[in-house]
Chain A
Amino acid sequence: MKLPRSLRRRILAGLLASLVLALGFIASRAYLHSPNRGLPYRDSFAKGRANEWKAFGGTWELVNGVMRNDSDERGAKLLSGSPYWRNYSIEADINLLGISGDAGLVIRSANEEEGVNAYSGYYAGVRTLDNALILGRAEHGWMEVVKQYPTPGGIRPFQWYHLKLLAYDCQIVAAVTTPSQATPTSLGINDPDCVHSGRVGLRSYSSGGIWRNVLVRPATYQDLVETLKSGRGPGDSEARDTALPDSESLGLQPRQEQQKANVRSNANTQIIASLRLTSFAMPATATVRGVVILTAPLLFVQDSTGGVYIPQPTAPLLKVGDEVEVTGEVHPGDFSSTLEHAKVQVLWARTPVPPVSVTASQASTGRYDATFIEVQGRLAAKERGPDNTLILDLDEGPQSFRAILNPGRSDYLFSKLKLNSSLRLRGVCVVDAAFTRNLTPFVLLLRSNEDLEVLAGPPWWSTGHVIAIVIASLLLALVVNFVYNRIAHWRLQGVLEERQRLAHEMHDTLAQSFAGIGFQLQAIRNGLPDGMPTLHQQLDLASNLVRHSHEEARRSIATLRPEALESEDILSALDYCARRMVEGGPVQVVSEREGDERPIPLRIADTLYRIGQEAIANAVRHAHPTILKVRLTYSGNAVCLQIDDNGTGFTQGGGLLGFGIRGMRRRAESISAAFQLQSKPGEGTRIQITASLPPRMTLVSWPKLLWKYVWGHWIDGRPTKHADSHSYRG
């Protein structure tokens, strides 16, 4: 079977389009899954940008152009990159913030969650506990190899190390060095059942840390060999040559952390809540123990009874989660106290305490002042405050409060937050007027942007959306109305075409047959001898009947044909129709028009034409007039058709209201037109039909029309005549 040419062309075009789409999909997928997409990568920490990094635990913040995790949390991770990166290396400068853990880099990471080893991938780090470079694989568990660091003094906190981690096929290599060290220390493993691809990350374990100069780039086998051999591959100097602040300029002062055996704790410690009962008049010295809940912009320590604010302490580098002992001068406040001139001693490095979940109303009482809390709220406004800090204004029930974030990693999240979103925030509650400015009952100081969680976006039913829905509904209604009108128009057009077809059929068959029969009867009559008068008489009668039927058929054909209506206005069409009906007779046809002619919708025009035809036909058949007047008057938003004859007339209500007049009334009602019939015996007949026309739409008139439309359709419940007529506009 041979397909048509057009169909074949369409199939071919469809196949080509599918091919292009498939190729596009394959190309985009190949690009997105490319093992080198986005490589090489260099961090933008120095520029204060880290939007592409995602934290799993810890308190990751950009401070002085470096990435810093001030948390003692075990296994806090910060991840970035493509999950399809395969053979590549990551290197960075690393500084440990504690002696009791390690910090390093993650490679080929996948399936990450918050947790100690909650990811699939490889980790290499420098560890202070055993002065070692460690390399291992995490699979929601941990396997490692260890190499002791040979340099005297071993791995120490607050010193920069350059760590490189490389993965090529199933070989993983780590190398660590210091700027002063000539020979790097390297370590490698071959994992036959290796993780083949994944993202990169920064990670610390119980120590916190600082990272800078993070560089990720594709790796070759040659790089693998070089790194394993020398700990340094081609181009490594590029990563280290960038000048950045050293430890001292970053404010890193080594702390004298103490092992449990060395801790000399004060025996006269008291609970933090008791500080509020210290004499207002005579400041006293007190010692408390607690956990660090915030280090910047201020130091807060909390125990199970409450929190205390420690301004400008004499303290080593502190991390969130450190258990400390603080001795200072007590200044009790209304809701919490301050320890001034305080000396802070680190007892233990622990994981941060969880927040107390409260409502904004509870936090507004001041009972949670200087305490780490979790609270929910609706974002009412956001702005930038002093020092470019990020300020969120939130509401919950009758209360309002503020949340303050540090700039840096939070910038991106801040810019994406939408007003009226529902947020969950974790931070230190502060009621001090220095923060609240007495505008809100309390302020929440957030540690990092991980302390902010978007629970739900803004409600969909905003003012803008409601307006959009109303506009869309109106547009839809207009479209539906337009389509409905077009369908009605097409239906009417179909009816007219069918009538025309019937007229043609009748003309070609019935009328021709009548003509043929008449001709044959005339031929028979002419062929008959004159001596058959009866037969002649019968043939004449038959011929007359045929002629009469022929005329009826012609009249019906004229009635059915809509060409006149289509090509001319109603008055011309009716004039033509009347003249054809009275053709050859003594009736004078007069046509008149008044007013400014304007378009008439097809349905109204058709109805007026049919009524006029019927009126003319009735006058011609029954009234025997000498004058037949057809008048069409345009006035305002109405058109009036009037048919007058000076024929015999009839008595109204005298039983002469036949099928024709009832039909005219029904037609008039179908377009909500007024039908009037006036007739008296001997005084002729007048038929008048007044129909409303759709109003003209002008700048001045449209509000009035809209009001009428609304009143008619939604308030009154009944459509107006204008509205109905309008819907049939031709």
Chain B
Amino acid sequence: MNKLCQYGHLWGRNKSCLGVAGLACVLVLWASACRSHRQVRIAVIPQTEGTLFWEAAHTGTEDAADPAGIFIYWKAPTREDDVEAQIALVDRVVDNNYQGLVLAPDQALSLIMPVRRALAHGIPTVIIGSPLPIPAGGNLSYILNDDVDGGRLAAERVAGLLNGHGTVALLGINPDITGIMIRARAFEQVLAQNYPGIRIVEERMGSFNVPHEQQVAEDALRANPDLDVIVALMSTTVDGTLSALDTTPERHSVKVIGFDDAGLPPFDQKRSLDSVIQEDTRSMGQQAIELIHSRLLGQSVPATVHLHPKLITRNNIDTPEVRLMFSQDWTLGRWRWSSAQ
């Protein structure tokens, strides 16, 4: 009789055991799946993929990631002013549990909350290019372009061109990018302190819209017939200004000093273009990955690193140092196995 009574219990117990065993199998499979993805994954989100400007940084990140076996997730908005898209990308990185985040912010204020969320999830984060108003420390580091130095370089170049006397237009002031404001202030400070004979006769806000920047440059040229130099603080402003000068041949004497060109500066095609002050984005990307890797290994890392920009002129454009800044050589990256036979 007892056996009869126990059959039912055994069946019920078997079902329970089956359930537990199934759950255990799922956990084991999940754990093994996790083990197979233990490769470090770092997300790199530059300002945009719409131009070639950040491709050097891409090369730099791959250079640093390849020896360490790190997987780089490279994604960015198609435009620099698509802030919402960049916020969504940062949030996706947080949700997908990446081991690190490298971000070149499109907007100084709007990215505060997404970056704070990433930090709250314990993701080591490196801001490259232009800073955010969040103090460095903990999991947050900065690898920034030295925009004070950039402003100083521009001012001294203007002074050299004008021999201490002349007029300048400062175009492309964009408060969304803190670095641009820093370089604009530094430019003004150096001119005011060291070169009082040079006057800034025009200051205009900038945007990521080239036709608009061209319109602004044309207005500035019309309003200032004796203008000597235009300093374009953004790459779109450089393009717009050069286009404006193309349409006004009589103003070819006006020199343009630009910032952050997307590729090698077209000195041959654009005679008005005097020089370009270029961020070393390749080093930024490389050092950002190395910094996160060091942090993941438990090593101490610097909170803030400033990289000096490079003044590129017709004289030094072909030097190896400059060529390396713009290099997009992928042979050292993850595609090296696919060599042609």
Q: Using a CB–CB distance below 8 Å, which chain A residues touch chain B?
A: 276-277, 279-282, 334-335, 361, 364-366, 398-400, 431, 433, 436, 438-442, 633, 635-638, 640, 674, 688, 690, 692, 707-708, 711-712, 715-716, 720-722
Are B133 and A433 neighbours in the complex by a CB distance under 8 Å? yes
B3-24: contact bitstring with A at CB < 8 Å (1 yes, 0 no)? Answer: 0111010001001100100000
Please, which residues of chain A bring their CB within 8 A of the CB of B239?
none
Chain B interface: which size bin?
35 or more
Task: Given A282-B192, A721-B8, decide whether A366 and B109 contact each other with a Cβ distance below 8 A.
Answer: yes
Chain A residue numbers with a CB within 8 Å of B193 are 281
Closest to A640 in B: B1
Judged by a CB distance under 8 angstroms, whether B161 is at the interface is no
* Binary contact readout B246-262 vs A (1 if CB under 8 angstroms, 0 otherwise): 00000000000000000
Q: Which residues of B contact A364 (CB under 8 A)?
A: 107, 109-110, 112-113
A199 to B19, CA, bound (A): 70
- Please tell me if the beta carbons of B133 and A438 are within 8 angstroms of each other in the complex: yes
A361 close to B110 (CB less than 8 A):
yes
Q: 1/0 per position for B166-188, CB-CB distance to A under 8 A?
A: 00000001011010010011001
**B178 pairs with A711, CB closer than 8 A:** no
Report Cα–Cα, A721/B4, bound state, in Å: 12
Query: Which residue among B173, B175, B192, B203 has the maximum number of chain A CB atoms within 10 Å of its CB?
Result: B175
- Contact between chains at B16 and A711 (CB < 8 Å): yes
B142 to chain A, nearest CB (A): 14
Can you offer 16 A-B residue contacts whose CB atoms are under 8 A?
A: A276-B173, A276-B175, A276-B205, A277-B203, A279-B203, A282-B188, A364-B113, A398-B114, A399-B113, A439-B116, A441-B112, A637-B5, A638-B1, A638-B4, A690-B1, A690-B5
- The 3 lowest CB-CB distance pairs between A and B, nearest first, are A281-B192, A638-B5, A441-B109
Complex Cα spacing A84 to B110, Å: 53
Chain A residues with Cβ under 8 A from B8's Cβ? 692, 720-722
Does B134 lie at the interface of the complex (its beta carbon under 8 Å from any beta carbon of A)?
A: yes
When chains A and B are docked, how far (Å) is the Cα of A334 from the Cα of B116? 22
B52 CB → nearest A CB, Å = 26
* Residue among A438, A692, A716 making CB contact with B112, cutoff 8 Å: A438
CA distance A693 to B109 in the complex (A): 70
A276 to B205, CA, bound (A): 9
B84 touching A711, Cβ below 8 Å: no
Say which residue of A365, A635, A637, A707 sits within 8 Å of B109 (CB atoms): A365
Residue B101, interface by CB 8 Å: no
Is residue B88 contacting chain A, with contact meaning CB distance below 8 A?
yes
Question: B176 to A365, Cβ gap below 8 A?
Answer: yes
User: By the criterion CB–CB under 8 Å, are A366 and B12 in contact?
Assistant: no
User: Of all chain B residues, which has the CB nearest A594?
Assistant: B1
Say whether A281 contacts B189, CB under 8 Å.
yes
B residues 59-101 in Cβ contact with A at 8 Å:
83-84, 87-88, 91
Contacting residues, chain B, for A277 (C-beta < 8 A): 173, 203-205
Of A441, A635, A640, most B-chain CB atoms within 10 Å: A441
Q: Please, how many angstroms separate the alpha-carbon atoms of A640 and B116 in the complex?
A: 69
From 283 to 337 in chain B, residues with beta carbon under 8 angstroms from any chain A beta carbon are: none
Whether A334 contacts B1 by the Cβ 8 Å rule is no
- Give complex CA distance A704, B322 in Å: 74
B200 located at the interface, meaning its Cβ lies under 8 Å from any Cβ of chain A in the complex? yes
CB contact under 8 A between A690 and B4, given known A281-B189, A366-B175, A398-B87:
yes
